[in-house]
Amino acid sequence: MPKLPSNPRFIPILLCGVALVGCEGTSDPELNVLDPTLDQAANAQSENPFLGSWKLTSVVVGDVDHPLPGPPHWFTVTFLSDGTMWSSVYGDVNHEVCEAPDTSCGWGGTYTYTRTTYTTDEPDHPNPEERGEDTGMYAFCGNELIRMDSGGDDPAVRAVFERARRDCYARDCA
C-alpha cells in the first residue's frame, strides 16, 4: 500500500476528494434540476427539488467556518410550489438576524431557479442590507442543499442546508 503524503497541505485536498466521491456516489456531483418550462407547469410540484423545509447546518465565509449556535437556535427556509418561501429564525439571543428584543422572527419572499442558480427576493428581511434579490449557485448532495454565493465585493459564502421536511402541503399537491 502506498504511503500517504505527510505534508499537511494535502489533507484538505484528500478530504475534498473523499467528500465529492461520497456525494451521490460520484466524484462529479450532478445538478439534478430541470429548467422549468410552460409544458412542465402541471408537474412542477413533483419536479421542484426545493420543495419542503431546509435547516441551515453550516456557513463558510471565505475560508472561515462560522459555527452555528447550538439548540435552541436554528434557521429554516420553507419553499412552496407556488414560488413563495418563508424563512424563520428561532433562539437568536445575539440578535444576528432578528431585531432586539425579539429572539425569533420570520419573513416571506419568492424564489426562482434554473439548472445551476436560484434567486430569492426577500423584501421583508429583518436586516435592510439583506432585502431584495440575491442569486447564488446551488447543488444537491444527498439530503443537503448547498448554496454558493460569490458575495460581490465580500468574500464568497457557502451555506449548507439539510432537508428537515418534505411534506405534501395542501397547495403543493395535486
Instruction: Give the CA angle between residues 22, 164, 142 to the nearest 5°.
Output: 15
Query: Per the structure block, which three cell numbers stand in for 70?
Result: 447550538
Distance of CA 108 to the CA centre of its chain: 16
pLDDT digits (tens, 9 = 90+) for 91-103: 888 888 888 899 9
Residues 6+ apart with CB under 8 A from 171: 80, 81, 82
The pLDDT of residue 3: 46
The continuous run of DSSP H or E covering 22 comes out as helix 10-22
Burial of 174 (0-12, 13-18, 19+ CB in 10 A): exposed
Partner residues linked to 139 by β-bridges: 146
Q: The whole model's pTM is what? A: 0.68
What pLDDT sits at residue 146? Answer: 95
**With left for phi above 0 and alpha for psi between -120 and 50, is residue 91 left, alpha or beta?**
left
Collect the ranges in the chain with pLDDT lower than 70: 1-46, 69-72, 151-152, 166-174
Q: What is the three-class DSSP state of 16? A: helix
Q: For 28-45, give the secondary structure using H, E and C.
A: CCCCCCCCCCHHHHHHHH
In this predicted model, what pLDDT tens digit does every residue of 114-145 receive, in sequence order? 999 999 999 999 988 889 999 999 999 989 99
Cβ contacts of 56 within 8 Å, gap of 6 or more: 68, 74, 75, 76, 77, 159, 160, 161
**Residue 9: its pLDDT value, please?**
43
Separation of first and last alpha carbons in the chain: 56
